[in-house]
Amino acid sequence: MSVLVNEASKVIVQGFTGSEGTFHARQMMDYGTNVVGGVTPGKEGMKHLERPVFNTVENARKETGANTSVIFVPPPFAADAIMEAADAGIEVVVAITEGIPTQDMVKVQEFLKDRNTTLIGPNCPGIITPGEAKVGIMPGFIHQKGGVGIVSRSGTLTYEAVDQVTKKGLGQSTCIGIGGDPIIGTSTLEAVKMLMADDQTEGIIIIGEIGGNMETDAAEWIHQNGTKPVVAFIAGKTAPKGRRMGHAGAIIGGKADTASAKMDAMREKGIIIAESPAEIGEKMYQALHQ
Amino acid sequence: MNIHEYQAKELLRANGVAVPEGIMIDQAGQAEEAARTIQKKTQTSAWAVKAQIHAGGRGKGGGVKIARNLQQVKEHAGHILGMNLVTHQTSEAGKQVNRLLIEQGIYYPGESEPAEFYMGILLNRDTGRNVIMYSTEGGVDIESVAEQTPHLIFREEVEAGLGIQAYQARRIAFNLGLHGEAFKQMVKFVIKLYNAYLATDASLMEINPLFKTSDNQILAADAKINLDDNALYRHKDYAALRDTSEEDPFEQEANAHHLNFIKLDGNVGCMVNGAGLAMATMDIIKLSGGHPANFLDVGGSANPETVEAGFRIILKDTNVKAILINIFGGIVRCDRVAQGVVDAYKAVGQIDVPVIVRLQGTNAEEGKKLIDQSGLKVQSAISLQEAAQMVQSTME
What per-residue confidence (pLDDT) applies to B204? Answer: 95
Averaged confidence pLDDT in chain A: 95
What per-residue confidence (pLDDT) applies to B140? Answer: 86
Helix (H, G, I), strand (E, B) or coil at B274: coil
Mind listing the pLDDT tens digit for each residue in A55-72? 999 999 999 999 999 999
Distance between CA A85 and CA A104 in Å, rounded?
15
Distance between CA B265 and CA B318 in Å, rounded?
11
Contacts of residue A199, defined as CB under 8 A and 6 or more positions apart, other chains included, come to A1
From the list B297, B384, B309, the residue with the least C-alpha distance to B343 is B309
What per-residue confidence (pLDDT) applies to B301? Answer: 64
**Are B25 and B31 within 8 A, CB to CB?**
yes
Distance between CA B280 and CA A237 in Å, rounded?
8
Residue A79, chain B, CB below 8 Å: the answer is no
Residue A240, chain B, CB below 8 Å: the answer is yes
Best B157, B271, B328, B359 residue to mutate vs chain A (most A CBs within 10 Å):
B328
Distance between CA B9 and CA A52 in Å, rounded?
52
Is B118 among the catalytic positions?
Answer: yes
pLDDT band at residue A192 using 50, 70 and 90 as cut-offs: very high
Percentage, residues of chain A above pLDDT 70: 100
What is the least distance, in Å, from the CA of A236 to any CA of chain B? 5
**Are B312 and B334 within 8 A, CB to CB?**
no
- Residues A180-185 have a mean pLDDT of 95
Angle formed at CA B210 by CA B206 and CA B215, multiple of 5 degrees: 160
CB contact under 8 Å between B275 and A239, yes or no, is: no
CB contact under 8 Å between A102 and B198, yes or no, is: no
What per-residue confidence (pLDDT) applies to B322? Answer: 94
Give the strand order in the sheet containing A203-209: A133-136, A126-129, A172-177, A145-152, A203-209, A230-235, A272-273
| C-alpha of B226 from chain center | 7
Residue A210, chain B, CB below 8 Å: the answer is yes
- CA torsion, points A138, A143, A149, A152, in degrees to nearest 10? -30
Helix (H, G, I), strand (E, B) or coil at B153: strand
Mind listing the pLDDT tens digit for each residue in B160-207? 989 999 999 999 999 999 999 999 999 999 999 999 999 999 999 999
Give yes or no for a cis peptide into A122 (omega within 30° of 0). Answer: yes
- CA torsion, points A22, A23, A27, A33, in degrees to nearest 10? -20
Catalytic choice (B21, B137, B206, B308):
B206
- Residues A202-228 have a mean pLDDT of 96
pTM of the model: 0.93
Q: Which residues of B touch A27 (CB under 8 A)?
A: 331
What per-residue confidence (pLDDT) applies to A99? Answer: 95
- Residues B357-369 have a mean pLDDT of 90
**Are A213 and B125 within 8 A, CB to CB?**
yes
Cβ neighbours around B85 below 10 Å, total: 20
Catalogue the active-site residues of A: 247
Distance between CA A135 and CA A24 in Å, rounded?
9
What is the least distance, in Å, from the CA of A156 to any CA of chain B? 6
What per-residue confidence (pLDDT) applies to B8? Answer: 98
Distance between CA A86 and CA A117 in Å, rounded?
6
What is the least distance, in Å, from the CA of A51 to any CA of chain B? 23
Distance between CA B224 and CA A129 in Å, rounded?
45
What is the least distance, in Å, from the CA of B268 to any CA of chain A? 12
Mind listing the pLDDT tens digit for each residue in B42-80? 999 999 999 999 998 899 889 999 999 999 999 999 999
Helix (H, G, I), strand (E, B) or coil at B247: coil
What is the least distance, in Å, from the CA of B165 to any CA of chain A? 16
CB contact under 8 Å between A155 and B274, yes or no, is: yes
Residue A233, chain B, CB below 8 Å: the answer is yes
Catalytic choice (B5, B6, B103, B118):
B118
Distance between CA A152 and CA A172 in Å, rounded?
13
**Are A10 and A65 within 8 A, CB to CB?**
yes
| DSSP code, position B220 | E
Strand partners, A180: none
pLDDT band at residue B104 using 50, 70 and 90 as cut-offs: very high
User: pLDDT: is B149 or B17 the higher one?
Assistant: B17
CB contact under 8 Å between B283 and A236, yes or no, is: yes
Contacts of residue B363, defined as CB under 8 A and 6 or more positions apart, other chains included, come to B329, B333, B334, B335, B336
User: pLDDT: is A286 or B337 the higher one?
Assistant: A286
Distances A128 to A61, A259, B187 between C-alpha atoms, Å: 21, 27, 50
pLDDT band at residue A106 using 50, 70 and 90 as cut-offs: very high
If you write DSSP's letter for every residue of A10-37 in order, what string do you get?
A: -EEEETTTSHHHHHHHHHHHHHT--EEE
Residue A237, chain B, CB below 8 Å: the answer is yes
| The amino acid at B361 | G
Best A80, A143, A156, A190 residue to mutate vs chain B (most B CBs within 10 Å):
A156
Helices A75-87 & A102-112, crossing angle to 10 degrees?
0
Residue B276, chain A, CB below 8 Å: the answer is yes
From the list A79, A81, A9, A3, the residue with the least C-alpha distance to A40 is A81
- B-chain residue closest to A108, CA distance: B160
What per-residue confidence (pLDDT) applies to B256? Answer: 87
What per-residue confidence (pLDDT) applies to A95? Answer: 98
From the list A209, A213, A218, the residue with the least C-alpha distance to A188 is A218
| The amino acid at B75 | E
Respond yes or no on whether ipTM tops 0.85.
yes
Distance between CA B385 and CA B395 in Å, rounded?
15
Averaged confidence pLDDT in chain B: 93
Q: In chain B, where do the E strands start and end?
A: 22-25, 47-51, 64-67, 84-85, 95-96, 100-104, 115-124, 129-135, 153-158, 202-212, 218-220, 224-227, 260-263, 268-272, 294-297, 322-329, 355-361, 378-381
